Amino acid sequence: MLTLLEPARAPDHAANEEEPQCPPKPDSRASLAGLPTELHILIAKHLIYPDALSLKHTSRHFFYLVDTGVRLKVAWLKERRSHDLECPNDRQCDLRSDLRFCRGSVRLLMQRRREHLECESRPGLGCLVFGTAACIHRRSLAQR
Residue 103 lies in a domain: yes
According to the model, what pLDDT value does residue 83 have? 86
SS3 helix, strand, coil % of the chain, rounded to 5? 45, 0, 55
Range of the domain at 49: 35-118
- Tens-digit pLDDT profile for residues 47-82: 999 999 999 999 999 999 999 999 999 999 999 889
According to the model, what pLDDT value does residue 3 have? 45
Residue 67 lies in a domain: yes
Report the number of distinct structural domains present in the chain: 1
> How distant, in Å, are the alpha carbons of 24, 48, 73 from that of 101?
50, 15, 8
Answer yes or no: is pLDDT of 33 > 60: yes
Residue 44 lies in a domain: yes
Count H helices and E strands in the chain, helices first. 8, 0
Residue 134 lies in a domain: no
- Tens-digit pLDDT profile for residues 98-127: 888 888 788 888 888 888 888 878 777 888
According to the model, what pLDDT value does residue 23 have? 52
Residue 123 lies in a domain: no
Buried b (16+ CB within 10 A) or exposed e, 52-90: bbebbeeeeebeeebebeeebbeebbeebeeeebebbee
Residue 97 lies in a domain: yes
